[in-house]
Amino acid sequence: MAHIIIHEVGIRDGLQIEKDIVPTDRKLDWIAKLAASGVDMIQVGSFVNPAKVPQMADTDELFRQLAAAPQRPGLIYTGLVLNEKGLERGMACGVEYFCMGVSASETHSRKNTGMTTADATDRIIAMGRQAADAGKGVQVSVQSAFGCGFDGHIPLDRVLGIVRRYADAGLTAVSLADSSGHADPDQVEEMVNAVQAIGASIGITCHFHNTFGMGLANVYASFRAGVRTFETGFGGLGGCPFVAMAAGNVCTEDVIHMFHRANLRRDIDLGAIVSVTKDAAAFFNKPLPGTIHRTGPIFHPGRFAAPTND
Protein backbone atom coordinates (compact mmCIF):
# COMPACT_ATOMS: atom_id res chain seq x y z
CA MET A 1 0.00 0.00 0.00
CA ALA A 2 1.32 3.41 -0.99
CA HIS A 3 2.10 5.88 1.75
CA ILE A 4 -0.54 8.50 2.44
CA ILE A 5 0.71 12.06 1.92
CA ILE A 6 -0.77 15.00 3.81
CA HIS A 7 -0.42 18.42 2.22
CA GLU A 8 -1.38 20.95 4.90
CA VAL A 9 -2.89 23.99 3.18
CA GLY A 10 -4.47 25.77 6.16
CA ILE A 11 -1.78 28.47 6.36
CA ARG A 12 -2.82 29.49 2.84
CA ASP A 13 -6.37 28.30 2.15
CA GLY A 14 -7.39 28.65 5.79
CA LEU A 15 -6.02 32.10 6.50
CA GLN A 16 -6.68 33.85 3.18
CA ILE A 17 -10.40 34.17 3.85
CA GLU A 18 -10.19 35.37 7.46
CA LYS A 19 -10.65 39.05 8.12
CA ASP A 20 -8.01 39.17 10.84
CA ILE A 21 -4.46 39.05 9.50
CA VAL A 22 -2.18 36.59 11.26
CA PRO A 23 1.21 38.18 12.02
CA THR A 24 4.25 36.65 10.34
CA ASP A 25 5.76 35.41 13.61
CA ARG A 26 2.57 33.58 14.49
CA LYS A 27 2.47 31.98 11.05
CA LEU A 28 6.09 30.85 11.51
CA ASP A 29 5.20 29.37 14.89
CA TRP A 30 2.23 27.49 13.39
CA ILE A 31 4.32 26.30 10.43
CA ALA A 32 7.00 25.04 12.81
CA LYS A 33 4.45 23.07 14.82
CA LEU A 34 2.84 21.67 11.67
CA ALA A 35 6.28 20.72 10.34
CA ALA A 36 7.12 18.99 13.61
CA SER A 37 3.85 17.04 13.49
CA GLY A 38 5.16 15.03 10.57
CA VAL A 39 2.90 16.19 7.74
CA ASP A 40 4.59 15.86 4.38
CA MET A 41 3.91 19.18 2.65
CA ILE A 42 2.92 22.61 3.94
CA GLN A 43 1.50 25.34 1.76
CA VAL A 44 3.10 28.50 3.09
CA GLY A 45 1.17 31.14 1.17
CA SER A 46 -0.03 32.55 -2.07
CA PHE A 47 1.81 35.03 -4.31
CA VAL A 48 -1.11 37.34 -4.93
CA ASN A 49 -1.51 41.10 -4.92
CA PRO A 50 -0.85 42.15 -1.30
CA ALA A 51 -3.25 45.05 -1.69
CA LYS A 52 -6.07 42.69 -2.64
CA VAL A 53 -5.24 39.83 -0.25
CA PRO A 54 -3.33 41.36 2.68
CA GLN A 55 -3.60 38.05 4.56
CA MET A 56 -0.99 36.67 2.14
CA ALA A 57 1.23 39.77 1.91
CA ASP A 58 4.07 38.16 3.86
CA THR A 59 4.37 35.07 1.67
CA ASP A 60 7.79 36.06 0.22
CA GLU A 61 9.07 36.89 3.70
CA LEU A 62 7.85 33.55 5.08
CA PHE A 63 9.70 31.63 2.38
CA ARG A 64 12.87 33.63 3.00
CA GLN A 65 12.78 32.95 6.72
CA LEU A 66 11.95 29.26 6.24
CA ALA A 67 14.82 28.88 3.77
CA ALA A 68 17.22 30.37 6.31
CA ALA A 69 16.12 28.06 9.14
CA PRO A 70 16.88 24.35 9.67
CA GLN A 71 14.39 22.16 7.84
CA ARG A 72 13.01 18.71 8.53
CA PRO A 73 14.41 16.34 5.89
CA GLY A 74 11.76 15.40 3.34
CA LEU A 75 9.35 18.17 4.25
CA ILE A 76 8.17 20.19 1.24
CA TYR A 77 7.03 23.80 1.49
CA THR A 78 4.72 24.80 -1.34
CA GLY A 79 3.61 28.14 -2.71
CA LEU A 80 0.50 28.95 -4.70
CA VAL A 81 0.92 31.15 -7.77
CA LEU A 82 -1.87 32.61 -9.88
CA ASN A 83 0.09 34.43 -12.58
CA GLU A 84 3.53 35.13 -14.06
CA LYS A 85 4.32 37.83 -11.57
CA GLY A 86 3.59 35.48 -8.70
CA LEU A 87 5.82 32.84 -10.26
CA GLU A 88 8.63 35.40 -10.57
CA ARG A 89 8.23 36.35 -6.92
CA GLY A 90 8.22 32.71 -5.89
CA MET A 91 11.39 31.99 -7.86
CA ALA A 92 13.06 34.98 -6.25
CA CYS A 93 12.37 33.87 -2.69
CA GLY A 94 13.39 30.26 -3.13
CA VAL A 95 10.15 28.30 -3.58
CA GLU A 96 10.98 24.74 -4.60
CA TYR A 97 7.43 23.50 -5.19
CA PHE A 98 4.75 25.49 -6.99
CA CYS A 99 1.01 24.90 -6.97
CA MET A 100 -1.13 26.51 -9.65
CA GLY A 101 -4.36 25.79 -11.43
CA VAL A 102 -7.44 26.72 -13.38
CA SER A 103 -11.12 26.50 -12.64
CA ALA A 104 -13.30 24.12 -14.60
CA SER A 105 -16.15 26.58 -14.05
CA GLU A 106 -16.23 29.45 -16.57
CA THR A 107 -17.82 31.85 -14.09
CA HIS A 108 -15.39 30.92 -11.30
CA SER A 109 -12.50 31.24 -13.77
CA ARG A 110 -13.60 34.71 -14.88
CA LYS A 111 -14.13 35.90 -11.32
CA ASN A 112 -10.78 34.54 -10.18
CA THR A 113 -8.62 35.40 -13.20
CA GLY A 114 -10.66 37.43 -15.71
CA MET A 115 -10.00 34.68 -18.25
CA THR A 116 -11.90 31.77 -19.81
CA THR A 117 -10.93 28.32 -18.64
CA ALA A 118 -9.24 27.62 -21.98
CA ASP A 119 -7.12 30.78 -21.88
CA ALA A 120 -6.28 30.23 -18.22
CA THR A 121 -5.18 26.68 -19.04
CA ASP A 122 -2.78 27.99 -21.74
CA ARG A 123 -1.33 30.37 -19.21
CA ILE A 124 -0.98 27.84 -16.39
CA ILE A 125 0.64 25.28 -18.68
CA ALA A 126 3.21 27.87 -19.78
CA MET A 127 3.89 28.82 -16.18
CA GLY A 128 4.02 25.19 -15.08
CA ARG A 129 6.50 24.31 -17.82
CA GLN A 130 8.64 27.31 -16.90
CA ALA A 131 8.80 26.19 -13.26
CA ALA A 132 9.33 22.53 -14.14
CA ASP A 133 12.08 23.40 -16.63
CA ALA A 134 13.76 25.37 -13.85
CA GLY A 135 13.83 22.18 -11.81
CA LYS A 136 11.00 23.06 -9.47
CA GLY A 137 8.22 20.79 -8.30
CA VAL A 138 4.90 21.65 -9.93
CA GLN A 139 1.36 20.67 -9.09
CA VAL A 140 -1.44 21.76 -11.41
CA SER A 141 -5.00 21.79 -10.19
CA VAL A 142 -8.53 21.77 -11.52
CA GLN A 143 -10.62 23.95 -9.25
CA SER A 144 -14.41 23.59 -9.01
CA ALA A 145 -13.88 20.15 -10.50
CA PHE A 146 -16.93 18.63 -8.80
CA GLY A 147 -19.44 21.47 -9.15
CA CYS A 148 -19.63 25.20 -8.74
CA GLY A 149 -21.68 27.55 -6.60
CA PHE A 150 -22.14 29.75 -9.66
CA ASP A 151 -22.33 27.36 -12.62
CA GLY A 152 -23.80 24.36 -10.85
CA HIS A 153 -22.94 21.06 -12.42
CA ILE A 154 -19.51 20.76 -14.04
CA PRO A 155 -19.48 18.00 -16.67
CA LEU A 156 -16.79 15.40 -16.08
CA ASP A 157 -15.50 15.89 -19.63
CA ARG A 158 -14.52 19.49 -18.84
CA VAL A 159 -12.30 18.24 -16.03
CA LEU A 160 -10.84 15.44 -18.11
CA GLY A 161 -10.10 17.86 -20.95
CA ILE A 162 -8.04 20.07 -18.66
CA VAL A 163 -6.19 17.12 -17.15
CA ARG A 164 -5.37 15.80 -20.63
CA ARG A 165 -3.90 19.17 -21.58
CA TYR A 166 -1.80 19.16 -18.39
CA ALA A 167 -0.61 15.63 -19.06
CA ASP A 168 0.21 16.39 -22.70
CA ALA A 169 2.43 19.20 -21.42
CA GLY A 170 4.18 16.80 -19.06
CA LEU A 171 2.52 18.23 -15.96
CA THR A 172 1.36 15.07 -14.23
CA ALA A 173 0.96 16.03 -10.56
CA VAL A 174 -2.72 16.95 -10.66
CA SER A 175 -4.96 18.17 -7.87
CA LEU A 176 -8.71 17.74 -8.22
CA ALA A 177 -10.17 20.53 -6.09
CA ASP A 178 -13.72 20.62 -4.81
CA SER A 179 -13.67 24.38 -4.22
CA SER A 180 -17.33 24.63 -3.24
CA GLY A 181 -17.75 21.31 -1.42
CA HIS A 182 -20.20 19.91 -3.98
CA ALA A 183 -18.52 16.55 -4.43
CA ASP A 184 -20.26 13.40 -3.29
CA PRO A 185 -18.28 10.22 -2.74
CA ASP A 186 -19.83 8.37 -5.66
CA GLN A 187 -18.86 11.21 -7.99
CA VAL A 188 -15.37 11.25 -6.50
CA GLU A 189 -14.82 7.60 -7.31
CA GLU A 190 -16.11 8.12 -10.84
CA MET A 191 -13.84 11.11 -11.45
CA VAL A 192 -10.74 9.55 -9.94
CA ASN A 193 -11.23 6.43 -12.04
CA ALA A 194 -11.69 8.54 -15.18
CA VAL A 195 -8.59 10.65 -14.50
CA GLN A 196 -6.51 7.55 -13.77
CA ALA A 197 -7.63 6.16 -17.12
CA ILE A 198 -5.99 9.12 -18.91
CA GLY A 199 -2.59 7.75 -18.08
CA ALA A 200 -0.61 5.92 -15.44
CA SER A 201 1.84 8.81 -15.15
CA ILE A 202 -0.78 11.04 -13.54
CA GLY A 203 -0.48 11.38 -9.78
CA ILE A 204 -3.74 12.58 -8.26
CA THR A 205 -4.15 14.78 -5.21
CA CYS A 206 -7.62 15.49 -3.83
CA HIS A 207 -8.67 18.74 -2.19
CA PHE A 208 -12.08 18.78 -0.53
CA HIS A 209 -14.10 21.35 1.34
CA ASN A 210 -16.59 20.26 3.95
CA THR A 211 -19.36 22.69 2.96
CA PHE A 212 -22.09 20.05 2.91
CA GLY A 213 -20.54 17.69 5.45
CA MET A 214 -19.22 15.18 2.91
CA GLY A 215 -15.51 16.00 3.31
CA LEU A 216 -14.33 12.87 5.10
CA ALA A 217 -16.61 10.67 3.00
CA ASN A 218 -15.00 12.14 -0.11
CA VAL A 219 -11.50 11.64 1.27
CA TYR A 220 -12.32 8.01 1.95
CA ALA A 221 -13.94 7.53 -1.47
CA SER A 222 -10.89 8.96 -3.23
CA PHE A 223 -8.60 6.82 -1.09
CA ARG A 224 -10.61 3.71 -2.06
CA ALA A 225 -10.20 4.72 -5.71
CA GLY A 226 -6.43 4.94 -5.31
CA VAL A 227 -5.65 8.54 -4.32
CA ARG A 228 -2.91 8.83 -1.73
CA THR A 229 -2.27 12.60 -1.46
CA PHE A 230 -4.73 14.90 0.28
CA GLU A 231 -4.80 18.66 0.78
CA THR A 232 -6.28 19.44 4.18
CA GLY A 233 -6.44 22.44 6.50
CA PHE A 234 -5.94 22.44 10.28
CA GLY A 235 -9.15 23.15 12.19
CA GLY A 236 -11.19 23.01 9.01
CA LEU A 237 -10.49 26.68 8.38
CA GLY A 238 -10.65 27.93 4.86
CA GLY A 239 -12.64 28.65 1.77
CA CYS A 240 -12.25 30.72 -1.34
CA PRO A 241 -13.83 34.16 -1.13
CA PHE A 242 -14.72 33.97 -4.84
CA VAL A 243 -16.75 30.79 -4.50
CA ALA A 244 -20.36 31.15 -3.36
CA MET A 245 -21.07 29.34 -0.10
CA ALA A 246 -17.61 27.82 0.20
CA ALA A 247 -16.81 26.53 3.66
CA GLY A 248 -13.69 25.20 5.27
CA ASN A 249 -11.14 22.73 4.01
CA VAL A 250 -11.61 19.21 5.13
CA CYS A 251 -9.92 19.25 8.51
CA THR A 252 -6.34 17.97 8.73
CA GLU A 253 -6.56 16.40 12.17
CA ASP A 254 -9.92 14.77 11.36
CA VAL A 255 -8.47 13.23 8.17
CA ILE A 256 -5.34 12.03 9.93
CA HIS A 257 -7.43 10.63 12.79
CA MET A 258 -9.50 8.62 10.30
CA PHE A 259 -6.40 7.20 8.61
CA HIS A 260 -4.78 6.61 11.99
CA ARG A 261 -7.81 4.58 13.13
CA ALA A 262 -7.56 2.53 9.96
CA ASN A 263 -3.82 1.93 10.49
CA LEU A 264 -3.02 3.66 7.22
CA ARG A 265 -0.93 6.54 8.59
CA ARG A 266 0.06 6.60 12.24
CA ASP A 267 3.28 8.59 12.53
CA ILE A 268 1.76 12.08 12.44
CA ASP A 269 1.46 13.78 15.82
CA LEU A 270 -2.21 14.73 16.07
CA GLY A 271 -1.57 16.73 19.23
CA ALA A 272 0.81 19.09 17.45
CA ILE A 273 -1.81 19.89 14.83
CA VAL A 274 -4.56 20.24 17.41
CA SER A 275 -2.38 22.73 19.30
CA VAL A 276 -2.22 24.91 16.16
CA THR A 277 -5.99 24.63 15.71
CA LYS A 278 -6.61 25.63 19.32
CA ASP A 279 -4.24 28.57 19.00
CA ALA A 280 -5.98 29.63 15.78
CA ALA A 281 -9.41 29.37 17.45
CA ALA A 282 -8.08 31.62 20.22
CA PHE A 283 -6.54 34.04 17.73
CA PHE A 284 -9.71 34.35 15.64
CA ASN A 285 -11.83 34.12 18.79
CA LYS A 286 -14.35 31.73 17.30
CA PRO A 287 -15.06 28.02 17.22
CA LEU A 288 -13.46 26.22 14.28
CA PRO A 289 -15.40 23.61 12.32
CA GLY A 290 -13.19 20.52 12.80
CA THR A 291 -14.15 17.75 15.22
CA ILE A 292 -11.08 16.14 16.78
CA HIS A 293 -9.76 19.32 18.38
CA ARG A 294 -12.99 19.37 20.42
CA THR A 295 -13.53 15.67 21.10
CA GLY A 296 -9.95 14.52 21.25
CA PRO A 297 -9.01 11.37 19.35
CA ILE A 298 -10.49 7.99 20.15
CA PHE A 299 -8.34 7.02 23.09
CA HIS A 300 -7.88 3.30 22.61
CA PRO A 301 -5.54 1.81 20.05
CA GLY A 302 -8.29 0.22 17.99
CA ARG A 303 -7.72 -2.83 15.88
CA PHE A 304 -3.99 -2.30 15.57
CA ALA A 305 -1.61 -2.53 18.46
CA ALA A 306 1.36 -0.68 17.03
CA PRO A 307 1.91 1.92 14.34
CA THR A 308 2.78 0.29 11.05
CA ASN A 309 3.74 2.96 8.59
CA ASP A 310 5.51 1.99 5.46
The Cβ of residue 199 has, within 10 Å, a number of other Cβ atoms equal to: 12
> In the complex with its own copies, which residue's Cβ is closer, 56 or 219?
219
Of 108-116, 159-167, 180-188, 277-285, the window that binds its own copies (rule: CB under 8 A) is 180-188
Of 133-141, 160-168, 185-193, 275-283, the window that binds its own copies (rule: CB under 8 A) is 185-193
Q: How far apart are CA 247 and CA 252, in angstroms?
A: 14
> In the complex with its own copies, which residue's Cβ is closer, 6 or 132?
6
Fill in the amino acid letter for 20: D
Strand partners of residue 208: 178
- Selected from 152, 170, 271, 307, the binder of its own copies by CB under 8 A is 152
> In the complex with its own copies, which residue's Cβ is closer, 199 or 302?
302
Q: Is 214 in the site for its own copies (CB under 8 A)?
A: yes
Q: Is 4 in the site for its own copies (CB under 8 A)?
A: no
Q: Is 252 in the site for its own copies (CB under 8 A)?
A: no
93, 206, 240, 251: which is the annotated catalytic residue?
240
Interface positions, 35-54, toward its own copies (CB under 8 A):
none
- Selected from 157, 302, 307, 308, the binder of its own copies by CB under 8 A is 302
> In the complex with its own copies, which residue's Cβ is closer, 86 or 248?
248
Binding mask 222-241 for its own copies (x = CB under 8 A): --x-----------------
User: Angle at the Cα of 241 (from 284 to 122), degrees rounded to 5?
Assistant: 135
Q: 202 and 174 in contact (C-beta within 8 Å)?
A: yes
Q: How many residues bind its own copies (CB under 8 A)?
A: 40
> In the complex with its own copies, which residue's Cβ is closer, 85 or 286?
286
For the question of residue 240 being annotated catalytic, the response is yes
Interface positions, 263-282, toward its own copies (CB under 8 A):
263-264
CB neighbour burial string for 24-61, b if at least 16 within 10 angstroms, e if fewer: eeebbebbbbbbebbbbbbbbbbbbeeeebebbbbbbe
* Active-site amino acid positions: 240
